[in-house]
Structure 1
Amino acid sequence: MKYNKKIYEGIFKKRPNRFNANVILNGEEIVVHVPNTGRCREILKEGTKIFLREELNPNRKTKYDLIAAIKDDILINIDSQIPNKVVNEALINKKINLLKKYEKIEREKTFGKSRFDFKLSTEKDNNIYYLEVKGVTLEENGHCRFPDAPTERGARHILELIEAKKQGFGAGILFLIQLDNVKTFSPNDLTDPGFGEALRLAKKSNVDIMAYNCIVYEEGIEINDIVDIIL
Structure 2
Amino acid sequence: MRIENPVIEASFIKRLNRFEALVDLNGRETLVHVPNSGRLKELLLPGARVLLEIRERPGRKTPYELEMVYKGDRLISIDSQVPNRLILQSLRDKIIPCFAGYTVIEKEKTFGNSRFDIKMSNESEVCYMEIKGVTLEVNNIAMFPDAPTVRGSKHVKELIEVVKNGMRAVLMFVIQMDGINRFTPNDMMDPEFGSNVRKAVKSGVEVNAYTCSISRNDIALKAKVDVKL
TM-score (norm 2): 0.98
Q: 2:183 aligns with which of 181, 185, 190?
A: 185
Q: Following the alignment from structure 1 to structure 2, what is the Cα–Cα distance between the partners of residues 174 and 97?
A: 14
Alignment of 1:1-231 (within 5 A): 1-122=1-122, 124=123, 126-231=124-229
Q: Following the alignment from structure 1 to structure 2, what is the Cα–Cα distance between the partners of residues 95 and 159?
A: 28
Q: CA deviation at 1:35?
A: 0.5
Q: CA deviation at 1:177?
A: 0.1
Q: CA deviation at 1:95?
A: 2.0
Q: Following the alignment from structure 1 to structure 2, what is the Cα–Cα distance between the partners of residues 80 and 181?
A: 20
Whichever residue aligns with residue 78 of structure 2, its letter is I
Whichever residue aligns with residue 143 of structure 2, its letter is R
Q: Following the alignment from structure 1 to structure 2, what is the Cα–Cα distance between the partners of residues 104 and 56?
A: 34
Whichever residue aligns with residue 38 of structure 1, its letter is G
SS state at 1:38 partner: coil
Q: Following the alignment from structure 1 to structure 2, what is the Cα–Cα distance between the partners of residues 28 and 12?
A: 11
Q: CA deviation at 1:103?
A: 2.1
Any stretches of 5+ residues in structure 1 without a counterpart? none
Q: Which aligned runs of 4 or more in structure 1 are off by greater than 3 angstroms? A: none
SS state at 1:116 partner: strand
Q: Following the alignment from structure 2 to structure 1, what is the Cα–Cα distance between the partners of residues 100 and 15?
A: 41
Report Cα offsets for 1:14-70 as digits up to 9, x if no partner: 112111110011221111110011111111111111001112221111211101011
RMSD of aligned residue pairs (Cα, Å): 0.9
Q: Following the alignment from structure 1 to structure 2, what is the Cα–Cα distance between the partners of residues 133 and 167?
A: 20
Percent identity between matched residues is 47
Q: Following the alignment from structure 1 to structure 2, what is the Cα–Cα distance between the partners of residues 6 and 205?
A: 46
Report Cα offsets for 1:123-152 as digits up to 9, x if no partner: x3x311000000000001110100001110
Report Cα offsets for 1:164-220 as digits up to 9, x if no partner: 110011110100000000001100111111110110001000101000000011112
Q: Following the alignment from structure 1 to structure 2, what is the Cα–Cα distance between the partners of residues 195 and 166?
A: 20
